Amino acid sequence: MKRATILSLAACALVAAPLAILAAPTAKTPPAKPATQPATKAATKAARPPAPSSTGTISGVVSYQGKAPTPSTVSMASDPLCAKSKLPSEELVVADGKLRDVHVRIKAGTAGKHKAPTSPLVIAQEGCRYSPHVAGAMVGQPIAIRNEDATMHNVHAYVDGETWFNRSQPKGAAEIRETDTGEAGEVFELKCNVHSWMRALVPISDHPFFAVSDSKGAFTIEKLPPGTYTLEAWHAKLGLKSMKIVVKAGTNKADFQFP
Ligand SMILES: [Cu+2]
């Protein structure tokens, strides 16, 4: 149904565009002249986006409390080209009590519509793993999947667990680029049918206010209009945590603890 809706909307847009072109020359009244001078200084000020100094940044650290299990080593013996390197499991990556790969985002209530970047989120297959393992993208932002390995991968994409596409990508093949990667709140996921251990996770958002914790558990979300928000932190294995946060201009702290 999701796809059908998107396609029908696209069809409407295609029909509407030529009609608009046809309608334009028949208009009898000339279009009103645009005002050369804004009415007041206040109006100009209101139209501008807020200056960077008036926005808030959320920065924090995600910790893992207790002793983290030692990551197992992935057996890559099924492909001699992969087996050259050792790969620790990326299911739960903890270093010095800090948790990597937690996707942190504003849940809802951000002001206005946000345009997706035209530059793609690049996910590379290198050393027989997807890199990055967890990343965020906006609805409509292209995701480019590249094969940097000397072996064949099979890019099997899912959205919320349902197959989205399934394409093989031999050594040296062109990147696979996909713009339709699901709706806000869904997770675009990549697996590989050749190498069962390969996995990448990309939660999709309709705004740019998200970040993924790095190897020190740190994350930063920038340029938020001040306000009260729900901040969510999601880890693929450990689940979801959330907190209310009042964001003021400048730096705001928000730390999370798992499990
Ligand atoms: Cu593969």
Ligand 1 centroid to residue 86 C-alpha, Å: 15
What does the mean pLDDT of the chain come to? 84
Residue 228 belongs to domain spanning: 63-258
State residue 109's pLDDT score. 60
Give pTM, 2 decimals.
0.79
Ligand 1 centroid to residue 213 C-alpha, Å: 25
SS3 255: coil
* pLDDT tens-digit map of 158-216: 999 999 999 999 999 999 999 999 999 999 999 999 999 999 999 999 999 999 999 99
Ligand 1 centroid to residue 118 C-alpha, Å: 27
Q: Which residues have a Cβ under 8 Å from the Cβ of 242 and sit 6 or more positions away?
A: 107, 230, 231, 232, 233
Residue 219 lies in a domain: yes
Confidence tier at 258 by pLDDT (50, 70, 90): very high
Q: Which residues have a Cβ under 8 Å from the Cβ of 137 and sit 6 or more positions away?
A: 121, 143, 181, 188, 202, 203, 204, 205
In the chain, the number of structural domains is 1
Residue 175 lies in a domain: yes
Tokens representing residue 64 in the block:
């893992």
> Which domain CATH number covers 82?
2.60.40.420
- The CA–CA distances, whole Å, from 144 to 5, 75, 86, 122, 212 equal 24, 27, 26, 5, 18
Residue 28 lies in a domain: no
Residue 15 lies in a domain: no
* pLDDT tens-digit map of 26-45: 333 444 444 444 444 454 44
Residue 41 lies in a domain: no
Residue 70 lies in a domain: yes
State residue 87's pLDDT score. 87
Residue 133 lies in a domain: yes
Ligand 1 centroid to residue 126 C-alpha, Å: 9
Ligand 1 centroid to residue 88 C-alpha, Å: 16
State residue 13's pLDDT score. 37
Residue 19 lies in a domain: no
Confidence tier at 108 by pLDDT (50, 70, 90): confident
What is the largest distance, in Å, between two alpha-carbon atoms of the chain? Answer: 76
